[in-house]
Structures are given as structure tokens and as C-alpha cells.
Structure 1
């Protein structure tokens, strides 16, 4: 097994591991100690139960587009560090701190110029709660050796613990822990893409899903429409009956919209009381029919606050249709918003198409 690890592990990581074993785990300045790897090195410090980048190698900053030196990993926005990768890092760092044993794995994703790359990474304890992480891009060409190919497959899916003899001592995840991890990652994915109150797509996820449909419509020469919706006088509900009543109104509104939409339509919350709907394969007439159906359904809603009288809801809706120059959802949404404001200025509770 030791020879197999030596054949698969990137030679630069092997040199880092060898130096770490030779010099011990304690050092006043781990980055200076491993200066030959500094550009491909991270140093992680524990900070209030979280992890902070005390050193962020230049190779990472150039590849990922951000210098995260000094940043706390838990506080990074999802567009910089997605939820699944954050959980993966936290698991690895926590494991190495608990066991004081080196952890080795690879990770394949879209890096740099959105090109698929495989990076091998090595997480090493450095004393005083600090961790040193070395990572290098490796060639993704599979080996003809079946044992090597299997090991590459394993480390791309499960981090492995390296033994003192240079071989693999253990897997960092048991089957039960792997299932728990997968379930947790699925929960994190929901949190990262869903508005927690209305359970609709949040703005980022809506724009991503709707953007895919827009691209498909452009390629296939199909129609595509977008609705911008805004609940009328929503602030009045919060001011009169409180935010709990406002939350109930938002939930009821979202539920009503879901019932009035087709299975493949995309509903998202893009602001406080602002929502958007993407309508694939839908021309101007069809978009107006759906918008009017939503408007009428919302007008039938009755909100019953815990204290106070019953209140009704209405919604104003603007419609924008895909044009040849539209490359992003943002441009369509901007035009739909302009139509929406015309609906507001015309008296609310109505549907207006863009000029």
C-alpha cells in the first residue's frame, strides 16, 4: 500500500509530507518552515470555534479569484465558498485537529476559467490548533494500473488517513458518517437555494434556474416570458398587525402562486415582498393569461392576523417577453420591473405588459 500511495500522491505533496514527518508538528511559524510550498499552502487557525485563513497562498488567490487571508471560513458568502465545500473543509479540519493525523484527498471541480481540474490536498496538524494545508493541481489522466485508478477514485470521494509507514491507515468517513454527511450536505443545499419563509427559490437560485431556461429558449428559438410581482401595500400589513402577520401573508401569497403555476414554471422571491416567475415556452398571450390567473387568486386570499380584522391581499404584475438582445435574466427582470411600476402607478391590482 505504501508503494501505491507513493505512485498516486503528487510528488510535491509527498515532499511536504516528508518534511512534516521529519521536522515534527510544532513550529513557531509553519509557513516559514514550509517556505518552498508557500504559494500552494494554507494555514488555518482556530478562532472562536471557527476556522480563519492565517495564510492564503498566491496560487489559490490566482485560481479562485480571491485572496482570503484573514477571512473566517464560516462567514464567506456562498458564491465564494458553496455550502457543500464549506462542510467538506470543516469536516477535514475538525478531523485532523481531533486525531493529529495527516489527511489526504483529491477534489475535482470547475476551477480557474471554469475548466474542470483535479487538485490533491494534504491537511497536516501544526500545533496550537493550527493546520497546514498543501494543495496542487494534478493531471486527470487515468492510469492504466487498476490499483492506481481505484485509489484515485477513492481519494476523490473519501478523505483517507495516512499512516506512519506511508500507507493508508484508515478512511476518514465510516459508512454511517458518510450517510450523515450526505444528508447534511443535502440540507445545506436547501438552505443555500431556498427562501426559508416561503420555501420558494431565493434570488440567486431563481436567476440560476431561470437563466438555464432562457439559454435553452435562445438556442431553440422558443418563447420565454418573465413576470415581476409585488404585493400591494405590504408595509401596511407589517405596520398595522406586525411582522408575524406579514410573514403569514408572504406564505399565503407564495402558496397561492404555486397553485396557479404550471409544473415547469419557476417561482422565486427576489426581494422583501417582491417575487418573480419564469415562464418557459410562453408567448405574450399565454403570459398574460397566467399573470391574470395569479392576480385573481391572490385577490381571493384573506389574511387573519392574531389580533385585528381580516385583511385581503392584491398584487401588481409586470410582464416582459424574451428579445433577441436579452442575454441574462437581469435584463428581462429590469424590463418586467418597469412594467410592474406602471401597474402600481395605474392603481395597483392589475397586470401590465412592457411597452
Structure 2
């Protein structure tokens, strides 16, 4: 919108300038002796220069603002969205779900025993592990799904249009892919990791999307408590009640 307005103003100013200059051509130094049309042509030329400078600064500042806004939504280590951006997407999806009843699922996941990586190999290796895991998540979801780094070694995914069963399938695919991937860093480090996943879906009685996130977080806690490297869905809103769990063998670092 702003770009089109700026282009329109520039083109308009150019044709105004051409119109006046076509009537009378006088060098700028003869401005005081020039006729009215020449004076107007010179003024139009100066106006065009000023307008061009203004539009250039305006568009540059607008682009810079967009870039800064996008940077504020990105986690610098992994390149994924950060929690702020995730919250914004959840607000949008929750509003859509309330209007249309469309389902959505949230997955929370956490790398198992990640502290051991930092303690044994150092934070530079830990950072690379987080980047590799982030890439695994990003590469195995749909384009309109949202994945974000929630903090530390914890990540969260928003799956529009997915119910719990479909969310479980996505989480299990990500769990298996993580467990099957060896991470080699340099000549000395070769790791096989595992991750735990908690899944929850939107319920029509939810008053805010954070209720779904809370259930996913409780499910993740249950996955950790049950032995890690598994996918858990709390089947009800009460985290103390029965839950659905998929429990493969645990792969440790």
C-alpha cells in the first residue's frame, strides 16, 4: 500500500515537472528573470527532488521496521519462531476455532537428557544439537504448521486442522525421526538422541488457547515421568486421569 502511494506521488510529480518545463526552458540561474511558467517549472523540479528523498527515506524506514519486527519474532539460535510469535499464531487459530469449530492440536516436546550433552561436550555442541533438532521438526511438518522454540531445549508446535489422533501421528513421526538420526559434530562427537512429546487438542469448552498448551505441557511431563522417548496424550482435561501413551524403547545418549 505505502509503496504504491509513493510510486504514485513520484510519477505525478514527474509529469507535473514535465508539463511546466515543456512551456518554458530557462536555466536555474535565470530564475529571478524567468517568467511565471519557468519559475513554476523550477519549483516543481525542486519539489520532485525533495519528494523523491522523502519517499526513499519513508520506504527504507518502513522496510527496516518490518525487518526489526520479524527479527523480534525469531529465535536467534535455531531460526524458528520464538514464544512471542507462537502466541500470536495461537491467538489467530483459537479465534478461528471458536468461530468455526475447526480443530487444532498443540505438541510440546523436549530433548531427553539434554543437560548431559552440555555437561559432557560443552554448550557449543549443545547449541548445535538444538539447531539440528529444530531442523528435524521444521522439515517434517506442513508449511502452515507453526514450530517455535519455547525455551531451553523445549519446543512447541501448533497444528491447525489436526485433532488429537492426528497430532499423535505427527508427534510419533517426529519422535521416531529424532531417535533414528545420528548427530555428528566434528571428528569426536557422535550422538543419538531421543525426545519426549506431549499432545493436546482444542476443546469447545476452552476459554483460551493456553488451556490447550497447559494440557500439552502436562502430557509432556507425563511422558518424562513414564521413561522419556515417548508420545503422550492426556485423554481428559484432568491430568491425573487415564492417558494415551505410545512407549517405544528408550534411547539414551
Matches within 5 A, 1:67-216: 174-216=54-96
SS in 2 for 1:326: coil
Query: Structure 2 regions of 5+ residues with no counterpart?
Result: 1-49, 236-253
Q: Which of 249, 252, 267 is equivalent to 2:132?
A: 252
User: What's the offset of the Cα at 1:261?
Assistant: 0.6
Normalised by the length of structure 1, the TM-score is 0.50
The residue aligned with 1:316 is 196
Task: Identify, as 1 or 2, the structure richer in helix.
Answer: 2
Query: Are the equivalent residues in 1 in contact too, given 2:101–2:204 (CA < 8 A)?
Result: no
Q: Distance in 1 between matches of 2:187 and 2:210?
A: 40
Q: How many residues align?
A: 186
Matches within 5 A, 1:269-284: 269-284=149-164
Q: Which of 165, 168, 188 is equivalent to 1:285?
A: 165
Q: Flag the 1:242–1:173 CA change in 2: closer, same or farther, 3 A.
A: farther
Query: Are the equivalent residues in 1 in contact too, given 2:163–2:201 (CA < 8 A)?
Result: yes
Q: Distance in 2 between matches of 1:343 and 1:208?
A: 27
Q: Distance in 1 between matches of 2:63 and 2:143?
A: 26
User: What's the offset of the Cα at 1:171?
Assistant: 6.5
CA RMSD of aligned residues (A): 1.8
Query: Are the equivalent residues in 2 in contact too, given 1:241–1:307 (CA < 8 A)?
Result: no
User: What's the offset of the Cα at 1:310?
Assistant: 0.5
Q: Which of 111, 122, 138 is equivalent to 1:231?
A: 111
Query: Are the equivalent residues in 1 in contact too, given 2:183–2:192 (CA < 8 A)?
Result: yes
User: What's the offset of the Cα at 1:268?
Assistant: 1.0
User: What's the offset of the Cα at 1:173?
Assistant: 5.6
Q: Tell me: higher relative CO, structure 1 or 2? Use CA pairs within 8 A at least 6 residues apart.
A: 2
Query: Structure 1 regions of 5+ residues with no counterpart?
Result: 1-169
Of structures 1 and 2, the larger Rg is shown by 2
Q: Distance in 1 between matches of 2:81 and 2:148?
A: 4
Task: Identify, as 1 or 2, the structure richer in strand.
Answer: 1
Q: Is 2:219 the partner of 1:339? A: yes
Q: Distance in 2 between matches of 1:173 and 1:236?
A: 56
User: What's the offset of the Cα at 1:180?
Assistant: 2.5
SS in 1 for 2:109: strand
SS in 2 for 1:251: helix
Q: Distance in 2 between matches of 1:185 and 1:199?
A: 19
